[in-house]
Structure 1
């Protein structure tokens, strides 16, 4: 699957030297699917923060501005897509607002995909002061947004207890101008099943769906970053067909996660059920090994359209 030569993504999120989160998780799949990808690293760490320690640097808003200014001075700031993920400071997030507006002035057709990385499972892992910036300034600029359930609840101020609640939350995003909303994971399914929900309003046509995803017995890191990148790619390749884009995204995710878990078990010498013995290093996403699945995902999961 190849994108047109004019398709170019600027991805602004975290970077790790070892492992796969942030730009390391997003860049390779986008390139495999034919996109030119430029990256700005909001942080540069030795490894993700789930390890016993990490070292590195944090980019500030002035440095972000310098990079954008350099691109602009050389006529290198015309992008078809902008993707943002983990951002750790309020000033940097405010600068993202300026960057989005600038890039949309250069290319009014630019599609901004926002993954509002703030937390999961009821816990924020960024400063709380980022929440109003996302809600008031970033969300209205996004064309596609991919929060998990917790992040969607934070942004909308509404609790999601059932699918009706999820629909109201997605409408909240639409009301602020977001064309496509994908709740990448919710706990609305039966035990052992995650439910992703999505809604789009494109050219006056409304589509809403859900998809049931088997939950694996371990926690991976970098999956949200991978999800957002794949959704960007498949939204483009399917001409904004929400059902096909979500199905291809989830199918790819399932292939990668199953391969990662199978390889981790093999490396650790444990059988199914021995997941407690697996290390964070063993559970790093097996992206390179999943090249063929990224390029041509095999049908595994079927999304259900909701009337």
Structure 2
């Protein structure tokens, strides 16, 4: 009896192995280099928060142009400007997939102040930033140069510590940009220990994580429900900030006052980051601002 069970198990394993090899992407027609992928799942190591880092490692191994499977779909990856430039001239590489997540995202951000040029809120923010930047440049030119050089040195040091290995560039780049743009626009010096800095950095990183996850979720119907849930949170946060901005602009029109730009940015990012009722319920009558023009 035991011998029969063993023989049946071996036969079943052989059949499954044969089917696995038959339907494996490795044995299909392959025009471009790329890693071995699992049937139905594709390349499993993309199911991470840093899938762009894994794609960078694959580019080092297979070159600027390679292919992978995500789910049951073939995906061509272009990992350099030169590869992308050449691909635009080839018919077989023309066109881009129409992701559901991108369509949802585009619909969500229509009319929102952060993504719409020349809206009332966009003009208001631009005036406030120009005024804040002008004040900083007039009084502290050397401080601006110091901030830029310090951010550059910090980024260089962190890249040297990685010794040329594949790293996640998002956090390093965002940290460098915010350490320069933050002080210039908010009118005060920010560093890594400041709460404002953490809020700006976390907000940017969380948005990127959602978009990276959505890239993979587009290929798997079961994951799309999670994708829609993430967009629901995005919609709610944007709605709170949008209402806050509208009320602030109305107050600016009636009083023509704006004094504390940094406090305004602190409140909007706190609304988005922590979604606290006591913050989202605040209105522009709690503080006075002034923007010339």
Give TM-score, length-normalised by structure 2.
0.26
The structure richer in helix per residue is: 2
Output the TM-score relative to the length of structure 1.
Answer: 0.26
